[in-house]
Amino acid sequence: MNQNELSTARWRKSSYSNGEGGSCIEVADGHPGIVPVRDSKNPAGPALVFAAAGWSAFVTVVKGDGFTS
């Protein structure tokens, strides 16, 4: 998938986003098997594309506070 294919994607902002321009991401739904992700502060910038299973595993770990410092 290239950037031109995402030009008409419907992006949704993270529910953790705030109105003050905090560090947030946007995800494009409706792409079977993949999850495009971009920086909400730079919507014209590049997007990363993850396999849906990998993205799901990542979100599960983040929600479960699985990262330690």
3-state secondary structure the chain: CCHHHHCCCCEEECCCCCCCCCCCEEEECCCCCEEEEEECCCCCCCEEEEEHHHHHHHHHHHHCCCCCC
Does 69 fall in a domain? Answer: no
Q: What residues contact residue 52 under an 8 Å CB cut-off, 6+ apart?
A: 32, 33, 34, 35
Is residue 15 over pLDDT 80?
no
Does 68 fall in a domain? Answer: no
Give the tokens for residue 66.
């699985």
Q: Which domain holds residue 37?
A: 3-63
Q: How many domains does the chain have?
A: 1
Does 31 fall in a domain? Answer: yes
| pTM listed for this prediction | 0.76
Does 48 fall in a domain? Answer: yes
Q: List, for residues 24-66, the tens digit of each pLDDT value.
A: 889 999 999 999 999 988 988 899 999 999 999 998 998 887 7
